[in-house]
Amino acid sequence: MFTPLYRTIWRWHFYAGLFVLPFMILLAVTGGLYLFKDELNSLVYGRYLNVAPVDGPLLKPSEIVAKASGSIAGEIRAYIPPTSADGSAAVSIKTAEAGKQRVYVNPYTGEVLGQLEDGGFARSPLMLLVRKLHSLAKFGDMPNRIIEIVGGWAMILVATGFFLWWPRQRKEGVFTIRTKAPSRTLWRDVHVVTGAYAGIVVFFLAITGMPWSGVWGNYVNTYADQAGLGYPPEYWNEVPKSTVPMKEGMSQTAWALENTPMPVSTPNGLGSIGIDKAVEIIEGLGIAAGYVVDYPEGAEGVYSASVFPDKVIGEKVIHLDQYTGEALFNGGFADLGIVGKSIEWGVSVHMGQEFGIVNQWGMALACLALVVMSVAGGVMWWKRRPVGSLGAPSVPADYRIPRGILVITVIVGVLFPLTGLSVVAVLLIDRFLPNPLKAKHA
């Protein structure tokens, strides 16, 4: 009934699914939660984030910082102004005992509302935990590499899944689920039909999630910088630079700038311009609401402002000389090269931001579909597997994979090195396991 090629693709789909299934569920659940981080943060941490609007002026940034620093001992690292009339201001303070804490202040009265662990991009400890679970960064660098491999295998799953789904003159179980079919057929239809509708979005989520990965993401970032396809090199020709990358020197920065060195201030015998003047200059340069201002670190440090609104076109990063207020760097989405723009846009859509509520709920449905597909795939396997065996689809012993498939496999391995290495590992296991073990494990 099935050709050797079909069974080979099916076998690879089986291996891919067996490996990534638990991780796909983790990614879908944590990703689905993170789509609603603003709503969840407001629900859980409303007493820190919300204030009653007052018909009067806001306190100066320096006054807000003074109120926050008076409540907790530590080094001031960032100022976060309110984003709306009913929003609190916040100050990030690096403490000796608890690390970075974000102190929330009523911007009208100066009342300190409380403090939380600084969640950075995630904006709260809860969403920071969700973000770290999503990438497995919570458990260190090595588990994070596993997620990178999972991203590559997810793309293999989608590609092989569409090949297996292709109707081939079949009509049933292609676009609709046979709800009255036997249990095994029903679970098969749930898996296949859900994948048919959601597969492209799942592939998009996998490829747009890869820029965050430690190996592939760093490789592409470095290439984009060297080729001038991230931020154009002319932005840096005349700017004094440090050896500290922006991802380490700022609370948040654009993907395209993560590995770019921080600029430095030039001491001139005068004091720092201060946070009030820095905010005045930054806002005068046209930055959108929701920005964060990082304080200078050391004598050569700079004031750094960054904002990443829902619409990617509003992204902006600004660095000011702390002594003169000169803008050493003022770049936004429009200044990016083609690689930087593509990835920043992809990340924005991935996070459900770019197209408003439609984008947010569309990605939420994709996450739900991913859970449904994963659960249905697991049930399918459990119902069809022979006792004492994994039940991988068999292929003829003398079958040779077509050259075109091998070429595609090599290309995938080169483009996504960790995924490529894992493919080689699976091939070796599948090829060299003794027959008795194959009978049990292949």
Is residue 172 assigned to a domain? yes
The CA-based angle 340-212-144, given to 5 degrees, is: 165
Do 280 and 189 lie in one domain? The reply is no
Based on the fold, state whether residues 145 and 203 are members of the same structural domain: yes
Residue 381, φ and ψ in degrees, nearest 5 = -60, -45
The reply to whether 304 falls in a domain is: yes
Q: Are 106 and 87 in contact (CB under 8 A)?
A: no
pLDDT at 325: 96
Q: Is there a contact between 320 and 326 (Cβ–Cβ < 8 Å)?
A: yes
The rounded Cα 209 to chain-centroid distance in angstroms is 5
Within-domain flag for 100: no
Residues 161, 300: one domain?
A: no
Structure tokens belonging to residue 289: 């609401």
Q: Is the domain of 298 the same as that of 250?
A: yes
Is the pTM higher than 0.85?
A: yes
8 Å CB contact between 15 and 425:
no
Domain check: are 237 and 331 in the same one? yes
Say if 215 falls within a structural domain.
no
Structural domain ending residue among the three candidates 271, 302, 336: 336
Q: Please count the residues of the chain.
A: 442
Task: Please give the pLDDT value at position 246.
Answer: 87
198 and 238 in a common domain: no
Integer CA distances (angstroms), 112 to 122, 383, 390, in order: 21, 58, 59
Are 303 and 260 within one domain?
yes
Q: Is residue 131 part of a domain?
A: no
- Domain end: 336, 367, 399, which one? 336
**H/E/C letters for each residue in the chain?**
CCCHHHHHHHHHHHHHHHHHHHHHHHHHHHHHHHCCHHHHHHHHHHHHHECCCCCCCCCCHHHHHHHHHCCCCCEEEEEECCCCCCECEEEEEEECCCEEEEEEECCCCCCEEEEEECCHHHCCHHHHHHHHHHHCHHHCHHHHHHHHHHHHHHHHHHHHHHHHHCCCCCCCCCCCCCCCCCHHHHHHHHHHHHHHHHHHHHHHHHHHHHHHCCCHHHHHHHHHHHCCCCCCHHHCCCCCEEEEEHHHHCCCCCHHHCCCEEECCCCCCCCCCHHHHHHHHHHHCCCCCCCEEECCCCCCCEEEEEECCCCHHHCEEEEEECCCCCEEEEEEHHHCCHHHHHHHHHHHHHCCCCCHHHHHHHHHHHHHHHHHHHHHHHHHHHHHCCCCCCCCCCCCCCCCCCHHHHHHHHHHHHHCHHHHHHHHHHHHHHHHCCHHHHHHHC
In this prediction, residue 440 carries a pLDDT of: 46
| 69 within domain boundaries | no
* Pair 330, 395 in one domain: no
At 436 the pLDDT is: 45
Domain count for the chain:
2
- Looking at the fold, whether 327 and 398 belong to one and the same domain comes out as no
Between CA 159 and CA 419 the distance in angstroms is: 15
Residues 160 and 304 in one domain: no
Q: Are residues 242 and 324 in the same domain?
A: yes
Q: What is the pLDDT of residue 236?
A: 56
Is 8 among the domain residues?
A: yes
**Which residue range forms the structural domain that includes residue 197?**
4-24+141-210+378-441
Which portions of the chain are predicted below pLDDT 70? Answer: 1, 231-240, 388-389, 398, 430, 432-442
Looking at the domain assignment, is residue 168 inside a domain? yes
Place of tokens 């090599």: 410
User: Using CA atoms, how far apart are residues 314 and 79, in angstroms rounded to an integer?
Assistant: 20
Residue 226 contacts residue 157 (beta carbons within 8 Å): no
Could you give the CA distance from residue 270 to residue 411 in angstroms, rounded to a whole number?
56
The type of residue at 215 is V
Crossing angle of helices 417-432 and 141-165, in 10° steps, is: 70
Residues 261 and 313 in one domain: yes
> Which of these three, 275, 305, 336, is where a domain ends?
336
